[in-house]
Each structure stands twice: as C-alpha cells, then as structure tokens.
Chain A
C-alpha cells in the first residue's frame, strides 16, 4: 500500500504545466516516480534516443509532501505512467500565473489511491479555487516499471553553461523545418547549426529549409570547456523543447558531453526542480576531423580512468549499452543506405576512438550502433538519481561486436530476467 499526497502552490502547479508541456515534446505519456525525497516526472521518446527528467525536490518544490510505501516493491518507491494529455488538461487551466497575479486557484492537492484489494489506480487532483470552488480530477494511471537514462557528468570532458535567454535567441533563428542541430566549437567560437539532411534534386532543391548557423563567442557562455573541432549532432526538436522550457524559468543551462555518438546531457535547476535531458548525439558531421592526439588532458584522463583496456573487465565496469544488432538496423533511417561493415576493434594501446568514417559525412548511418541510452531500472540508485552511467569512450566499439543477445550491458544479468528487451 502506498500513500502519496502532496500540495502545490499555484506557482508550482504552473511550473508543472510548463514541464508537462516540455515532456509532451518527447513522449505521449509521463512516467512518475515517487520517493521520499523527490518526485520525478520523466519521458523517453519512442526511438529511445532522448530522455527528459524533472525531479521535484522535497521540501523545496512542495508546500506539503507525504510519501510512504509499506510492502510496496520493498524498495521505497512508487512508479506509474499517465497519459500526458490528461495531465496537461488538468493543469492547463488559465488559473495559474507564475508572476503572482490573482489566479483563481489557491492550491492544488494531489493524492494517489492505491489500496490493496481495491486496485483503483487513480490519481486524484484537487484544484482548490477561491470562492469556495473545488475542481476534482480523477486520472487513471498504469502501474509500470520505469527506465531511467543514466549519465555521469563527472566523466564528460566537455561542458559549458549559458543563460537560457541566449539559447532562446539562437533557436529563434532556426528555420521551422530543420531537423538536426550540430554543435561545434573552433577558435573560441561556438557554432550551432540547424539543418535538414534530405538530399533533393532539381527543382526540389529550392524546397530545402534554410541552413542556419549561429556563431557565438565563447565569452557569451558562463563557462566553456570543450574539445574543439568535433561535431555533436542532436535533434533540433529536442533542443527547442529544452530551451523553451529553460527560458520559462530563466535558468542557466549546462551541457555535458564526451564524444560524438555518446550521450549528451543538458541540465538546469530552479526552485527545487532539477531538470535533466539526456540525448544521444550522432557522430562527426562530415567526419573529416579525426580526434587530435593533442586533445585536452581532461579527456585523456577520463579515458584512462574509466576505460579499462582489457575488454574482459568491462562487464564488471558496466559500460554503456551496445545496441542489439537487429534494433540498430531498424534505426537506420536513410533508405537504401548500405549496411556498414562491422567495426574493427580499436588498437588496444590507443586511448582514442578510431575514426573509421574519415572523409565521409554520414550522420544518419552512424547513429545506429551506439544510439541508445543506458538504462537502469533497478532500485539501487537511491543515493543519487543518475549515478551509474559509465561514459567509457572507446570501449563501446569493441563491445558492439558480438552483442547479438540483445541485453544492454549497463545492467547486471541478474537484474534483467528477460523482461525489458524481449
């Protein structure tokens, strides 16, 4: 049996609306995970290449929060999934105003009904309005296990932070129909390029959307440490959703990432909310620049500390997941593209990722093999929310060989029991 009751101020309820709007850009349903110290709302997109998470901290975000789970899963959490549309329509009311004007809603009370024997699975949201009006919404939820993408910031050598206002100005320049965003830095300049990859011929070429590059000075950033001349490509749609939400909070957005083809994380905090987005990046744009052996020392260090040279150790270290081959083929979006030959194992002496796409620009094809996030559906990550992702640079290449059995090695075999991927 689970007890989950919390109360929100009108301002917090309005922030919930904003974050639901952001989550709706990723997935149709919202996953909710309640623990003693926080409530997390997350979404994972259908191609599992982008994951958004909002952690609402107790007590900062809530005016009242009560959670207890007796005999429930024995791990002290409650998880469920609700259609975002339903939640959005509850929180959409014009009653909220972040700027503190008279709103009509005095407070918002939420509680979850999950009694043994009754099996109601209802989330009850009460909007207590002034003039003695109370609106009650009962939403049905589905009790599910939630997967979280894990990302370890500490071993991501590239990071920067910038005000959301600046990013907001950048995305305003992007053309509406662009699909991909390339982040690239060179000579103290940071390039954000939005483009579409469709190859068109003849008259259709004029239908291609604008290719927009915004070139900002490094000093526009609050902090900037990133390896130069590497292209990291993410989706414009995801980026737009993130920046639009961050701008509603006027937050400072931080980004952490390592190599192209490995996950990237955007994060920001505000008013008891920890917002984290883990996105898959695809490999080098045009692929012309191999990683220079003179890369920043931070990267070399991270590679040595986190990437054991002996592949046998890797299971113990839980490197990022290798995608089952059948799934990676489905993700090859370019029709008619040839299946790439299997990668060679990298030179065991080398710390650096070999760039086998040299001279060819194949962002789409490159996405396949490493394009998924790592999960951990297990319960042993109470201490920190996302503690165990190992962003282990070069190791993934050797791992992708012979991983046909379809189990992501982020997880211990004992935890899987064939439930998640089959």
Chain B
C-alpha cells in the first residue's frame, strides 16, 4: 500500500476539511485513482458524503494498493485541519502514508518560506544586538530561506471488508429540488432561529430540547425557514430562487419518469409568491444540526437542496473549480426529518 501526493489548492482543501469538522471528528477517507471521498457518519446528526475529483487537491500522486488501488483510511479530521492550516502559506506540500513503529501515519511535509515581510526588520536588527556572527542576507539564496514542517497525523487503515458495509443513505425521489440562496445568509438566519427555539424550549420545560426549525420549499422558487414557539411564529421567506430542470438521462424512466416524478406533480401546486398553502415540501430539522451543515458556506459553490416531504433534506454542494467546467466535486449532506 503506497500513497503519496503533492497537495495543490491547499486553501480549498483546508476550507473543505475545516467545514467537515463541524459534522464529526472521525472521517473515512477513500483514496482511489479517480477521486477522494470523505465520509463522516456521526452517531447523531447529519451525515456527509463528499467526492472530490483527484485533481482538485492533488497534483502528482501515487496511489497503490492490493485492493484495486483503493486505500481506505480513518482520519481524525481535526488533526488534518490543523496540519493543513500550517500549510496555508506553504511553497509546497506533500502528503504521504507512512509508518512510525507500528502506527500508520499520514505525514504532511510542508516547505515554507522563512522570511515573511513582517519579520525582516527585526532579523536585520538582530545582527547588531545579537552577540553572534552576522548573517549576510544578500548571499542567502531562496532555497536557504525555507524551512520544512512535518505534521504527522495518526490514522487507521481500514480493510475493504470493513468499509463494504457502509452505504450511502437511500432516499425516495425528492418532492422539491431548489437552488439555495447564499449559505452565509442562510446560516445567519438559521442561527438566529435556533437561538429563539432554544430559548423557548428552555423557558417552557426548564431543560433543553432539540431546537426545531421548519425547512420548507416549493417548486416555484420559494424557500421558507420558520421557527414556531408558543408565543411567536417567525418565518423567513426567499422567493425567485431557481428550481433546476431534471435531466432525463439521469432520471429512471426518461421523459416518462420525469412526467411522473413527484416534483412535477408538486409543480402544479403552489405559487411563486409563497403565499399559497399548497405545494410545500416540509421537513422539521434540528437547528443546531442545520447550522453545522451550513458551515460549508465557507466554500463558494452552487447548492441544491432536495426536500423529501416529512423525510429528509439532501443537500448537494458543488465545488467550483477553475479548470473544469463540470461539477466533478460534490459534497452530499443528509439531514433527517425529526418526528414529534
């Protein structure tokens, strides 16, 4: 089993993994020659299944294993984030699978420039008040002014049998699919509503229940977040969002499948001003959970929410990449409906 890769787009990689840390602490990473998959299935709350095309983050890479060149690892995502953070200003970074004793390690080797602009002045003064020899800054070339950082991330290697039983959740065909507004704006509303819901449940029962937020959307470009408490009913409505067309090649049954698709039926109900009571697909979700998911808003990209009425929301976050036109990197979040 061998894995070695030069990391590129460190900034994107860092933002991605740091957004994943809000979901859980242990991540299953599947490396193959085509893509890298990050999966976090926490004991409670939403799951995330992310697929990155390998070129998004790796440049030169070697991935060799006896199981069809697929490597499955269990990685503490917090440590990976910390390691990538130290690589943010790096000249080069290389990720490799290695071993220290019997412990498998993912080693991030970072080459970083030593003289950053702010410290040049002080190091210049140091020549005079330090009692050592003078360093001639002119003659020290570029290669000498770098230092190397090795970050060793403890990991576990998973066997193909272990991961064979982990499957992505299956959902019925969505009733509504809608492109979400800017996630940062959505998150700030969701956070406020969560606070209101928490305050309400605490004041009513004296203990903290799960803060419930209603997430509703229709096929006429409307999205509504609402929080219902005893004294108040607050909602926030977005209109004129887009409902992407379904691709006949992707839907079971082709054109006919689309005609019978739940979303086509939903399209006949409701209105574009969001005032109609009909045509809404609605899911009750834990507000804290939603906020965790929406932290992915740090990465810019198109976000499609598929709402299965009273069942789940599936959120597709497409990462924009400069070179490729197609969305080959996508994060999928599964947020379950909360009964009661």
Contacts and interface: CB of A to CB of B under 8 A. Distances in A.
Interface of A: 161, 163-166, 169-170, 172-173, 175-176, 203, 205-217, 219-223, 250, 252, 254, 269
A165 B130 contact: no
Interface string B74-92: 1110010011001000000
B130 A223 contact: yes
B163 to A, nearest CB: 16
Interface in B139-158: 140, 144-156
Contacts of B118: 165
Given A161-B132, A215-B147, A222-B132, A209 B79 contact: yes
A252 B149 CA distance: 22
B249 interface: no
Nearest to B103: A205
B154 A212 contact: no
Nearest 5 A/B pairs, CB to CB: A223-B132, A165-B119, A211-B152, A252-B130, A222-B132
A222 B126 contact: yes
B127 A210 contact: no
B151 A250 contact: no
Contact of A212 (B114, B119, B126, B150): B150
22 contacts: A161-B130, A166-B123, A172-B86, A175-B79, A203-B156, A205-B154, A208-B154, A211-B100, A211-B150, A212-B149, A212-B150, A213-B149, A213-B152, A214-B149, A216-B114, A217-B146, A217-B147, A220-B144, A222-B127, A222-B132, A222-B135, A254-B130
Query: Which of A164, A220, A221 gathers the greatest number of chain B CB atoms within 10 Å?
Result: A220
B130 A222 contact: yes
B135 A206 contact: no
Query: Which of A203, A210, A220, A269 gathers the greatest number of chain B CB atoms within 10 Å?
Result: A210
Contacts of B105: 211
B140 A223 contact: no
Name the prevailing secondary structure of the A interface residues: mixed
A190 B95 CA distance: 22
Contacts of A222: 126-127, 130, 132-133, 135
Given A205-B156, A210-B83, A216-B114, 15 more contacts: A165-B123, A169-B119, A172-B86, A173-B86, A203-B156, A207-B76, A210-B153, A212-B150, A212-B151, A215-B147, A217-B146, A219-B144, A221-B132, A222-B135, A223-B132
Contacts of A214: 147-150
Contacts of B86: 172-173, 212
Name the prevailing secondary structure of the B interface residues: mixed
A329 B81 CA distance: 39
A252 B156 contact: no
B129 interface: yes
Contacts of A252: 126, 129-130
A203 B74 CA distance: 10
A175 B82 CA distance: 7
A250 B144 contact: no
Contact of A210 (B103, B122, B151): B151
Nearest to B76: A206
A96 B185 CA distance: 39
A161 B126 CA distance: 9
A172 B119 CA distance: 15
A280 B65 CA distance: 46
Contact of B123 (A163, A205, A209, A212): A163
Contact of B135 (A169, A176, A208, A219): A219
A216 to B, nearest CB: 4
A212 to B, nearest CB: 5
Contact of A216 (B100, B103, B147, B152): B147
B319 to A, nearest CB: 26
Nearest to A208: B154
B116 A169 contact: yes
B131 interface: yes
Contacts of B152: 210-213
Contacts of A213: 149-150, 152
Contacts of A250: 122, 125
Contacts of A163: 119, 122-123, 126
B26 interface: yes
B92 to A, nearest CB: 14
Interface in B145-202: 145-156
A163 B145 CA distance: 14
A165 B150 CA distance: 20
